[in-house]
């Protein structure tokens, strides 16, 4: 009898089993067959939009921060609305006369002085150092062509500012620089506005003979007869009108027939602390005024609207559910010993880690995408007519995609931390703390504090900036605090910080998974 060599029965290693996507499919099967996890993810999709009902109101409720306890809703001061539907500050002293048709206004500005910002007795101003002569850096005086004298009407203006040189500004949000340096009797500034139909062009000059084009504003639908003249505005700092700016003008040249200046306080008597004044002497005209002509962003916004990002407040609720599920996606393998089977089936540990990260990241992204889309759709409906700032479709898309990415990366971070510590409770606690605590700490402290918020710049909570729906303006001084809807980092920069955390955690997880016994 002869012995035969029998080949051991071994299933062939097919190319499909080698493929990474086969592994992803296997991990997806593991995920979708755990009923509790699927329910948690579905709940995330529903809970985030449901929260929009709590965090929004269709009626204006002013001063959300100043709770009286009675629950009564105070009447809101009206916030003027400018061209394009943006809320604006339009309060200043306007020395104007009606002008009809095309023409030119030219002026020489010889000085811009100010009254120092009002500082509380015994205190030190928390604001930035005042500009020359006790002015705010954006205190301004110059010439303006404005549709009419009602707040929020279209305009284009050439101005000198205390620390930002000559500027051309129009329709509250647009700003373009001209000559640099500050104005004085020895270094006067010449300003000119030329109207041609719906187009207004601004020029500046240091000597009144050599003119430089600064900018061109298009004001669609500008009436034939508009108001042209001189203005001054002290500008605002963190919503406070503490500065009065005085501009002195000489050599006023009008191509239209001169009919004499009328001094009007745009915005009415209660818009600024003290009414502006117009003084005319032989050869010089001076205009002094508090107030500003600017977008009503940040603390200066006094209306009762809500920023669109409020409808995404449920993200925090969704984060907790996703973080728990994502951490369990790996810690449950350790707890049940399933990790031994997983690593036997897929001995290349890095690939297993990658496949699981892809699955949990995709789950987070899809859940976030569905939830944020629904929340914004519900929120836009609920906030109808009560939106603080108009939001473009592009911004809405960024908020939705950003929220989806924020949830996906948080899920990957929780999964990676879970792989590192191999125990669910510490993993979940670590990730929740690094996202929630920075937000909770910054929120109350940023009430009066300027800048700061470093914890929202270096922790994964930075990614919440993808939800910011209100813009900031370089020509408006404000602390742009979290209470007013601003995050310290730009949207995608904030998300990048969270991605960096997840990448470092994944790298450490990869290193430990390969080095450690399972």
Partner 1 sequence: MSLTARVAPPRYLPGQALHAEWTKFRTVAGPAWLLAEVVALTVAVAVAAASAARCRSATCGIDPATVSFTGIYPGQAVVAVAGVLAIGNEYSTGMIKLSLTAMPRRLTWFFAKATVLTAPVLTAAALAVAGAALAGRLILPGKGFTPAHGYASLTSATDVRAAAGAVLYLTLIALLSLGLAAAVRDSAAAIGLVLGVLYLFPIAAAVVSNPALARHLDQIGPLPAGQDAQATIGVHSLPLTPWQGLGVVALWTAAALLLGALALKFRDA
Within 124-163, the residues that bind partner 1 by CB under 8 A are: 124, 126
**Residue selected from 223, 338, 433, 490 as contacting partner 1 according to rule CB under 8 A:** 433
Place of tokens 């109101």: 57
Name the segment binding partner 1 (CB under 8 A); options: 50-58, 246-254, 346-354, 372-380.
50-58
**Residue selected from 211, 256, 317, 492 as contacting partner 1 according to rule CB under 8 A:** 317
Distance CA 173, CA 157 (A): 12
Within 67-96, the residues that bind partner 1 by CB under 8 A are: 67-71
Within 294-313, the residues that bind partner 1 by CB under 8 A are: 306, 310, 313
Task: Considering the complex, state which of residue 286 and residue 481 has its C-beta at the smaller distance from partner 1.
Answer: 481
CB of 37 to partner 1, least distance (A): 10
Q: Is residue 338 near partner 1 by the rule CB under 8 A?
A: no
CB of 428 within 8 A of CB of 323?
yes
Cα 108 from chain centroid? 37
List C-alpha distances in Å: 356 to 41, 86, 329, 345, 517. Answer: 16, 46, 8, 14, 19
CB of 302 to partner 1, least distance (A): 17
CB of 177 within 8 A of CB of 215?
no
**Residue selected from 38, 50, 362, 429 as contacting partner 1 according to rule CB under 8 A:** 429
Residue 456, classed as helix, strand or coil, is helix
Q: Is residue 337 near partner 1 by the rule CB under 8 A?
A: no
Q: E strands, 21-163, where? A: 88-100, 103-115, 140-146, 155-161
Name the segment binding partner 1 (CB under 8 A); options: 27-35, 66-74, 98-106, 259-267.
66-74
Q: Is residue 320 near partner 1 by the rule CB under 8 A?
A: yes
Place of tokens 């107030």: 291
Q: Which two tokens stand for residue 488?
A: 């310290």
Distance CA 63, CA 88 (A): 18
Q: Kindly tell me the number of DSSP H helices and DSSP E strands found in the chain.
A: 10, 15
Largest pairwise CA distance in the chain: 133
Cα 219 from chain centroid? 26
**Residue selected from 331, 342, 465, 481 as contacting partner 1 according to rule CB under 8 A:** 331
Q: Is residue 46 near partner 1 by the rule CB under 8 A?
A: no
Name the segment binding partner 1 (CB under 8 A); options: 24-32, 76-84, 325-333, 351-359.
325-333
CB of 374 to partner 1, least distance (A): 17
Size of the site for partner 1 (CB under 8 A): 44
Q: Is residue 327 near partner 1 by the rule CB under 8 A?
A: yes
CB of 135 to partner 1, least distance (A): 22
Residue 250, classed as helix, strand or coil, is strand
Task: Considering the complex, state which of residue 61 and residue 255 has its C-beta at the smaller distance from partner 1.
Answer: 61
Residue 5, classed as helix, strand or coil, is coil
CB of 52 to partner 1, least distance (A): 10
Residue 458: closest CA among 408, 498, 430, 406: 498
Strand partners, 246: 113, 288
- Which chain residues interact with partner 1 by CB under 8 A? 54-57, 61, 64, 67-71, 120, 122-124, 126, 306, 310, 313, 316-317, 320-321, 323-324, 327-328, 331, 335, 423-429, 432-433, 436-437, 439-441, 443
């Amino acid at each position: 009898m002869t012995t035969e060599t029998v080949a051991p029965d071994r299933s062939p290693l097919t190319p499909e089993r080698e493929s990474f996507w086969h592994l992803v499919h296997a991990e997806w099967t593991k995920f979708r067959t755990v009923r509790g996890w699927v329910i948690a993810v579905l709940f995330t999709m529903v809970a985030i939009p449901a929260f929009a009902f709590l965090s929004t109101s269709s009626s204006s409720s002013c001063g959300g921060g100043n709770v009286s306890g009675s629950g009564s809703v105070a009447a809101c001061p009206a916030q003027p609305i400018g061209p394009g539907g943006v809320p604006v500050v339009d309060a200043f002293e306007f020395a104007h006369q009606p002008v009809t048709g095309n023409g030119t206004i030219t002026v020489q500005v010889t000085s811009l002085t100010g009254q120092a910002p009002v500082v509380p007795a015994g205190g030190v101003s928390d604001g930035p150092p005042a500009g020359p002569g006790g002015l705010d850096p954006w205190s301004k005086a110059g010439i303006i062509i404005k549709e009419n004298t009602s707040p929020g009407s279209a305009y284009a203006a050439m101005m000198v500012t205390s620390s930002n040189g000559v500027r051309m500004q129009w329709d509250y949000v647009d700003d373009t620089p001209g000559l640099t340096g500050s104005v004085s009797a020895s270094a006067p500034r010449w300003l000119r506005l030329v109207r041609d139909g719906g187009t207004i062009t601004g020029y500046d000059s240091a000597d009144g003979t050599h003119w430089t084009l600064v900018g061109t504003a298009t004001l669609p639908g500008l009436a034939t007869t508009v108001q042209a003249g001189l203005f001054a505005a002290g500008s605002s700092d963190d919503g406070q009108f503490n500065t009065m700016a005085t501009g002195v003008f000489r050599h006023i040249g009008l191509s239209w027939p001169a009919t004499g200046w009328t001094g009007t306080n745009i915005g009415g008597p209660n818009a600024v602390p003290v009414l502006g004044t117009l003084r005319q002497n032989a050869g010089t005209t001076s205009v002094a005024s508090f107030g500003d002509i600017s977008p009503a962003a940040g603390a200066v916004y006094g209306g009762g609207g809500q920023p669109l990002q409020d409808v995404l407040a449920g993200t925090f609720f969704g984060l907790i559910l996703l973080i728990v599920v994502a951490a369990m996606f790996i810690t449950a393998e350790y707890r049940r010993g399933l990790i031994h089977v997983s690593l036997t089936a897929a001995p290349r540990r890095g690939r297993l880690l990658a496949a699981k990260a892809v699955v949990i990241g995709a789950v987070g992204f899809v859940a976030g995408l569905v939830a944020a889309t629904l929340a914004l759709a519900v929120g836009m409906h609920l906030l109808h007519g009560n939106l603080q700032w108009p939001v473009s479709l592009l911004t809405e898309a960024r908020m939705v995609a950003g929220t989806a990415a924020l949830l996906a990366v948080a899920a990957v971070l929780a999964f990676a931390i879970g792989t590192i510590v191999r125990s669910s409770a510490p993993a979940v606690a670590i990730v929740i703390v690094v996202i929630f605590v920075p937000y909770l700490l910054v929120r109350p402290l940023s009430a009066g504090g300027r800048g700061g918020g470093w914890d929202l710049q270096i922790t994964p909570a930075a990614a919440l900036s993808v939800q910011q729906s209100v813009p900031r303006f370089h020509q408006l001084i404000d602390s742009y605090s979290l209470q007013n809807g601003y995050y310290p980092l730009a949207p995608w920069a904030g998300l990048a910080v969270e991605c960096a955390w997840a990448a470092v955690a994944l790298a450490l997880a990869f290193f430990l998974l390969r080095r450690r016994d399972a």
